[in-house]
Each structure stands twice: as C-alpha cells, then as structure tokens.
Structure 1
Amino acid sequence: MPELPEVETVRRGLERLVVGRKIVSVDVRVPKMIKTDLTAFETDIIGQTFQSIGRRGKYLLLNLDRQVIISHLRMEGKYLLFEDEVPENKHFHTFFKLDNGSTLVYQDVRKFGTMELLDEEEVADYFRQRKLGPEPTENDFDLATFAKQLKASKKVIKPYLLDQTLVVGLGNIYVDEALWAAKIHPKRTSDSLSDSEISLLRDSIIRILQLGIAKGGSTIRTYQNALGENGSMQDFLQVYGKTGEPCPRCATPIEKIKVGGRGTHFCPACQKRCQKLLE
C-alpha cells in the first residue's frame, strides 16, 4: 500500500504533469470508485483546470478552479499520463482528457482506490471528521502532544500508529522501520513507553518518512510514481521484508509476527517486549 513517501512522490509527479492543464472530458468506467455523486463528478469538473496538487496524509488533493478531487490510492492505485493514444488495459478505470491532447489515467488493479469531488470549503471539515493527526514534520508533529496521547492509552503501539490519529502517513512498512529505529517492540502498549522512547520514536518517524520521500518511496509489489518511475527506499529498509536476515544493529535474525492482523518485522533482541528489560 502506498504510504506517505509514495503518495508525496505521486503528488510531485502530478504537479509536474498536469498543473495548468484544463479537463475537457471525463470517463469513469468503475462507478463504485467515485464516492460522491457520479453524474456531478463526470460533469462538474469539465472545463476546470488543475491549479495545484496537494496532499494530506495519504490523500491526494487535486485542486481545481472551484472544487477539489480527493483521491486515495489504497492498495495499488496509480496515475499515468499518456501524451497520445491510451493503450487498452483492463485496469485503467478513470480517464481525464486534457486540453493539450494528453490523457491522465487512474489505474488500480484491485479497484480499492477512491475519488471524491468536494467544494473547496468542504475540504477542511472532510479531514476533521476523519480525525487525522499532524503531518510528520518538525513543525507539525508536537512531541508533548504525542507523549500525552500515548501515555493516556493502553492501545498496542503498532496498530495505534497505523490508525492515522497520532500522526499521518505511516503504513505497515514505515511503522516497522520506525519501531525498529526506536528499539520498541511492536506489541508494547502505548502507556508503557518512557519519555526517552517516545522522543526517539517521534524523531525516527520524521527522519524515516523524510528519507522515504527523498528516495521516491519504496518500490514493493507494483508501486510506481506518477512518472512511471520506481522509488529506491526499499534499498534502505532495515527490517521490513528481512525475515531471517541479521539485524543491522545486533545481527540477531529478524522475525516476522502478526500484530493487529498485520505482518510485522522486528528484532527480538533490540526490541524487547518486557519494559523491565529496557530499564
């Protein structure tokens, strides 16, 4: 599933490809992927221009003249731009014909991705309702608030980080990486974390996600950016997908377990579950 670095890379690609281009026609071939009124989606955006491409967590914001298309890529969604004829592909589901003759195509093998058309003034409330946490940056991701939330909860740390309320953008890959960097077992409860662990976890989340952006995301399974290019963050992963390989820190074999129904990679020596062993 694309996580924040992958979505940010797609955003930057789309910014280069379509900003300033006017939509002249829309063809939606899988109606269920449009979560607002389909007729309005196919008619209201015609004649509008892509003004900018934004992002909130894992959501893309395709900002038009008067409205915003909120796009969530889910498991395998991606955008492709064709300058001339669009080839036949059963996984191409939405087509935006642009004023220069090119076509922006949304591709999704699993058809899990979604698009919603909102008026500009509705966007802020849309994200408030989803209770999204701050962006993972030094300015937005406040340590004191993060610590207060963790200490007030008995939730298991990995699924809590995945639910997007503490901080946005983390998925399975980067949660495993951040917990390894902070030496925190993925099954620890949030209220068991010490102040120093919380501080290190916050710093690790920011650093790893920023590195992921710099490397263009992780190309695992079928992810590509909006320019059809692969990212290279997978070359810098320390534990995700490394089952049985030596931990880069202590050489203990990396293990894989299930946490909250998700495959989870960790080092059993560096990331101990018992708080007493950490003191």
Structure 2
Amino acid sequence: MPELPEVEITLRGIAPHLQGRCVSRVIVRNARLRWPIPPELPERLRGQTVHTLQRRAKYLLIGFAQGTLVLHLGMSGSLRILPHGTAPEKHDHFDLLLDHGELLRLRDPRRFGAVLWHTGDIAEHPLLANLGPEPLGKAFDADYLHQNTRNRKTAIKQALMDNHLVVGVGNIYANESLFRAGIRPQLAAHKLTRARSATLVRTVREVLRAAIRQGGSSLRDFVHSDGSSGYFQQHYFVYGRAGEPCRRCGTPIKRITQGQRASFYCPHCQS
C-alpha cells in the first residue's frame, strides 16, 4: 500500500500540472471504488479551477471554489499526468482533463482507492475529522507521543500505525523507524519512556524524510506521476529482510506477525 512518502511524492509530482488549471472534462469509467464516485462529480467539476493542492495523512486534497476533491490511492492506486487522448488501460478508472492538454488519471487495479467530493470545511470530512497529527509537523513531538501512549497496552508498532495517534506511518516505515530507534516492535506502548519517545519521534521523521528524498519505495502497483519508481527499498534495514544479516551487527533479522501485518526486527539491536 502506498504510504505517506509515496503520497507526498505524488502530490509534489502532480501539483505543478494542476495548480491554477481549469477542469475541462471528467471521465468516470468505473465508479465502483472503495466508495462509489459521486455520479454528479463530472458536472460539478466541469469549468472549475484548481486553487489548492495538499496532503492530509494519505489523502490528496484538490481544492476548488465550490468544494474539495478527495483522492486516496488505496492498496494499489497511482496517479499519472498524461496528454489528452492517451488511451486508457484496463484499470484506469478516472480522468480529470485539464484546459492545457494534460489529464490526471487514476489507475487502481484493486479498486480500494477513493474519489470523493466534499463541500464546506475539509477538516470536518468524516474521513479526516478524527485523524492524529502529521508525523513531520510540530504537533508530533516527544511530549505528545509519551503522553498519548500512557494508556495504550497495544504494541508500539501497532500504535504507530494507528491514524488516531499519528497519521501516515504505515507498515514499512514503522518497521524502519523502530529499528533506527533501537525499539522492538513488541514493546507495549505504555512502557515507552520519555527519552525513547524523543528518539522514536526523531527516527520517524528521519525515515520519512529519507524516503521522500529517495522517491519512496517501489511497491508492486505504485509508480510516480511521471511513471518513474522510487529506490528507498534499497536502504531498508529490516523490512522484508527476514533471515538476512542485520546491516549493523550481522544478527539474522526476525519476522513476526502483529495485527495481521508482518513485523521485522533485529533481536540484538532492538530491545
């Protein structure tokens, strides 16, 4: 599943092509995504100008005068910038045609993504209203993490992946952040000390920023808006490396299952 770095890179890729542009047409080939694409969307968007583009958690928000287009890539989605007239393929479900001859195309083989419309304050949308702070923002700091894990008996890795605690830290980057912090994924969240909270906040930010710099991870169905791939996966310390030697100490990396997701850690470097 595309995680925060991949979504941020997607935003940065599409923004120069959409900012200030007018929508000339909307094409919906398959409205049956995770939630149905609103049938009135093509009419609502025709003739509207893109005013803002931003990311909240893993949602892409395209702001217009009359509302906000909410996009989510789901498990297999990607957005591409293409010329008008580019023939669609099997899993190309949604096109936003722009007035300068380009289009924004959603490809989503598994159809777990979303294309939604919201009028009013976007922060009050049901999918966004109860989200935690951004991991790269000032609100996510050591005091916040320590205070908000005091009553959590769940494992710290699962807590990191809870969007009510902090948004966008998915499975790959939670594993990598915990390794860099020297914390085992099984540690109960309420046992996280103030000092270790500070370390974990720092490593979460380091990992996410490094992933963004390196173009994110090349996931099975994910590519950037220009069709290119990222290469952060070449720098994984633990994720997907079960049985391989730790890059720091040589101890074989272990794999366990937590909440139906794979967790990877070094039993020597993490405690």
State the TM-score, normalized to the length of structure 2. Answer: 0.94
What secondary structure is seen at the aligned counterpart in 2 of 1:235? helix
Deviation beyond 3 Å, 4+ runs, structure 1: 34-37, 127-130
CA contact (8 A) 2:79 2:107 kept: yes
Q: Residue in 2 aligned with 1:232? A: 231
- Alpha-carbon shift at residue 101 of structure 1 (Å): 2.7
RMSD: 1.8
Q: Residue in 2 aligned with 1:219? A: 218
CA contact (8 A) 2:77 2:221 kept: no
Amino acid at match of 2:263: T
Q: Residue in 1 aligned with 2:270? A: 271
What secondary structure is seen at the aligned counterpart in 2 of 1:26? strand
- Alpha-carbon shift at residue 265 of structure 1 (Å): 1.0
Q: Does the C-alpha gap of structure 1 residues 211 and 51 become closer, same or farther in structure 2, counting only changes over 3 Å?
A: same
Amino acid at match of 1:12: R
Amino acid at match of 1:200: T
Q: Residue in 1 aligned with 2:96? A: 96
CA contact (8 A) 1:36 1:117 kept: no
Sequence identity percentage: 35
Unaligned runs of 5+ in 1: 273-279
Q: Residue in 1 aligned with 2:47? A: 47
Q: Does the C-alpha gap of structure 1 residues 96 and 228 become closer, same or farther in structure 2, counting only changes over 3 Å?
A: same
Q: Does the C-alpha gap of structure 1 residues 185 and 75 become closer, same or farther in structure 2, counting only changes over 3 Å?
A: same
- Alpha-carbon shift at residue 138 of structure 1 (Å): 5.4
Q: CA–CA distance in 2 between the matches of 1:53 and 1:127?
A: 19
- Alpha-carbon shift at residue 117 of structure 1 (Å): 0.5
Within a 5 Å distance, the mapping from 1:149-168 to structure 2 comes to 149-168=148-167
The answer to which structure has the higher helix fraction is 1
Q: CA–CA distance in 2 between the matches of 1:34 and 1:20?
A: 29
Q: CA–CA distance in 1 between the matches of 2:88 and 2:127?
A: 39
Q: Is 167-176 or 215-224 further displaced after alignment?
A: 215-224
State the TM-score, normalized to the length of structure 1. Answer: 0.91
Task: Give the count of matched residue pairs.
Answer: 271
What secondary structure is seen at the aligned counterpart in 1 of 2:71? strand
Within a 5 Å distance, the mapping from 1:1-279 to structure 2 comes to 1-33=1-33, 35=35, 38-119=38-119, 121-126=120-125, 130-137=129-136, 139-272=138-271
- Alpha-carbon shift at residue 46 of structure 1 (Å): 0.8
CA contact (8 A) 2:37 2:114 kept: no
CA contact (8 A) 1:138 1:206 kept: no
Unaligned runs of 5+ in 2: none
Amino acid at match of 1:4: L
Amino acid at match of 1:245: E
What secondary structure is seen at the aligned counterpart in 2 of 1:202? helix
